[in-house]
Amino acid sequence: MSETLATREIMIAAAAREIHDGEVVFVGMRLPLVAFAVAKELHAPAAVGIFENGVIRDRRPLSPIVTMGDPPNIAGATACNGLIDVMALLQRGRIDLGFIGGAEVDRFGNLNTNWTPEIRLPGSGGAADIASFARRTVIIMTHEPRRFRERVQYLTSAGHGTGKGWRQSVGLSGGGPSKVVTSLGVFSFDDSGDMILTSLHPGITEEEVQANTGWILRSAPTVTETRTPTTEELALIRQFDTLG
Amino acid sequence: MSKRRLDKTTSLASAIRECVHDGDQVAMGLCLESLIPFAARHEFVRQGKKALTLIGPISDILFDELIGAGCVQRVIAAWVGNVGAGMGYNFRRAVERGIPRPLLLQEHSNFTITLALKAAALGVPFLPTRTGAGGDIIKNQEGFGVVVCPFTGVQLTAVKAVVPDVTILHVQRADMFGNAHVWGNLGVAVEAAYAAERVILTCEEIVDREVVAADPNRTLIPGILVDAVVHEPLGAHPSPVQGFWKRDDAYFLGYHEHSRGREDFLAWLKEWVLDLPDREAYCAKLGIQQVGTLRITEKRLPVGEVNYGC
């Protein structure tokens, strides 16, 4: 295991910090699985995790997992039901936070996981549903020019659409994306629904971020350095990250 | 085969031969990442099933393999790929280049495919939802329409019912009538069983009817829905089965490498499917050591009593 800090580990720690204590969190796959375990152990002991296969659990998986369906994520769960039950929680407005990702994201936080003209992508899974209904979403992405586009080529999971007021106008009850955690930095959204840079990972410059972003990116008045994982966070990340 | 027989136990080969026909709509991989009926998929390939429509939310590599084997004409799904590794190469080859044959797609999200099956299970033509509004999945597709609420006037998306000809489920245990005990995450397994014309169960154990009747709340699939029951231990490999088998992560990653190129995939298909007559031969090929590594030996039993006393 690498002793140097991996970008992936910075991203997981940043995602974990988005989980506030007591929140009901729609966890998702890959990095958020680890972020949930870290948050539960450290700063959000009362958070509850919802998994789209129907699992609800109020403690981290009993051992590291690759998918939400792995036996250590079922054993010790508080409830195992069906997809329709956890989707009911979403549509009814009972989910505080959902994690989603995609192959493409645009300036308003809309995501594409279905199609580009060249590539057939796997599809939505539950992402379109989480994006529709969670009170807020956090997007996790690798930051590359082909992924950060002015406009997504297919709208799988709704962000702020075309800007302020769009979500209400189409009838989406969730609040849309609040943060974007990428391999270069962390972003939030201004009142018009436009993405703004708020922190840079160590060693990354604003110029690098702009060079990897397909639109003229605005920055928060103060751009900070993303806080690196604490010793405790890092130990948990390395314990639970089976795909790193 | 019929739902009205007393003893529905049969071999996998005969269950698939009698219940699944070329051109059928088949729902499988319905619990998401666990309890995926992989043994049944191998039988599809061996029997040369054609022009199937596959239905399911997230099938892991099950759909990708069947697409690569040339069994599939259409997919109704929310996601097709390899959960641990990302893309499904056979899926991409079929959609992008028509190899081995063109593939029709009906896009869904996990919620909408659930509602499509739930509508079929309820015997209604559609169910309304708010999901996906403003997005591209619900646009211009045969699976979605618009409906106005008669009570509030609010406009909602109508998700059209999807009726599988056959639903195939792997479960922990069933009796010979097809009453199945299932535990762990359920995905859309129950909706898909109620929605389908025919249901095939593969199971780790066939148990006496008294085992089922002793805990009826755990009977998620009632036998009156079921046409065939197949005793197929390890029939979900490489996916996990709570209380029986861990997920074989290495197998999924190996598949990712072996399916990257078409020629490699065909060699893999010959080695792991076509050259093996049945699941017994498959387990022997996996090897006693690997099977032993995957077997769950820990006991984690309910603590509080469930008293059905009357």
pTM (two decimals):
0.96
* Residue B51 Rama label (left phi>0; alpha psi -120 to 50; beta): left
Binary contact (A129, B191; C-beta < 8 A): no
Distance from CA of B14 to the nearest CA of A (A): 30
Q: According to the model, what pLDDT value does residue B93 have? A: 98
Domain ranges of chain A: 7-240
Cα three-residue angle B275-B202-B215, rounded to 5 degrees: 160
Binary contact (A132, B133; C-beta < 8 A): yes
Average pLDDT, integer, range B29-57? 96
3-state secondary structure of B222: coil
Q: Give residue B257's Cα distance to chain centre.
A: 23
3-state secondary structure of B277: coil
Optimal mutation site among B30, B32, B159, B241, interface A, most CBs of chain A within 10 A = B32
Binary contact (B118, A84; C-beta < 8 A): yes
Optimal mutation site among B63, B87, B131, B155, interface A, most CBs of chain A within 10 A = B131
Helix (H) or strand (E) holding A138: strand A136-141
Binary contact (B132, A114; C-beta < 8 A): no
Helix (H) or strand (E) holding B16: helix B12-19
Average pLDDT, integer, range A118-122? 95
Average pLDDT, integer, range A205-210? 98
Partnered with residue B180 across adjacent β-strands are B174, B221
Q: According to the model, what pLDDT value does residue B33 have? A: 94
Cα three-residue angle B196-B280-B234, rounded to 5 degrees: 55
According to CATH, the topology of domain B12-111+163-206+217-294 is Glutaconate Coenzyme A-transferase (3.40.1080)
Residue pLDDT, tens place only, A66-107: 899 999 999 999 999 999 999 999 999 999 999 999 999 999
CATH superfamily of A7-240: Glutaconate Coenzyme A-transferase (3.40.1080.10)
Q: According to the model, what pLDDT value does residue B186 have? A: 95
* Rounded CA separation A48/A67 (Å): 18
* Rounded CA separation B232/A182 (Å): 44
- Residues B179 and B222 sit within 8 Å (Cβ to Cβ): yes
In which band, very low, low, confident or very high, does the pLDDT at A244 lie, cut at 50, 70 and 90?
A: low
Average pLDDT, integer, range A161-185? 97
A233 is catalytic: no
Q: According to the model, what pLDDT value does residue A2 have? A: 46
Average pLDDT over chain B, rounded to an integer: 96
In which band, very low, low, confident or very high, does the pLDDT at A1 lie, cut at 50, 70 and 90?
A: very low
| DSSP-H helix ranges across chain A | 7-17, 31-41, 71-74, 83-91, 127-133, 166-170, 206-211, 231-240
* Rounded CA separation A49/A107 (Å): 29
- The neighbour count for residue A111, using CB atoms within 10 Å, is 29
Structure tokens at B284: 């022997």
* Residue A30 Rama label (left phi>0; alpha psi -120 to 50; beta): left
Average pLDDT, integer, range A106-133? 96
Average pLDDT, integer, range B149-172? 97
Q: Which residue of chain A is at minimal alpha-carbon distance from B58?
A: A125
- Residues B45 and B254 sit within 8 Å (Cβ to Cβ): no
Q: Which amino acid is at B199?
A: V
- Which residues of chain B are in CATH 3.40.1080.10 domains? 12-111+163-206+217-294
DSSP state of A163: S
Residue pLDDT, tens place only, B215-228: 999 999 999 999 99
Average pLDDT over chain A, rounded to an integer: 95
Q: According to the model, what pLDDT value does residue A5 have? A: 83
CA neighbor of A228 nearest in space, from A204, A212, A192, A194: A204
- Residues B84 and B253 sit within 8 Å (Cβ to Cβ): yes
CA neighbor of B109 nearest in space, from B95, B130, B94, B89: B130
Query: Among partner residues B32, B84, B112, which is closest to A53 by beta-carbon distance?
Result: B32
Q: According to the model, what pLDDT value does residue A55 have? A: 96
In which band, very low, low, confident or very high, does the pLDDT at B141 lie, cut at 50, 70 and 90?
A: confident
Q: According to the model, what pLDDT value does residue B6 have? A: 85
Query: Among partner residues B111, B249, B296, which is closest to A87 by beta-carbon distance?
Result: B111
**Is B185 or B6 the better-scoring residue by pLDDT?**
B185
ipTM of the complex: 0.96
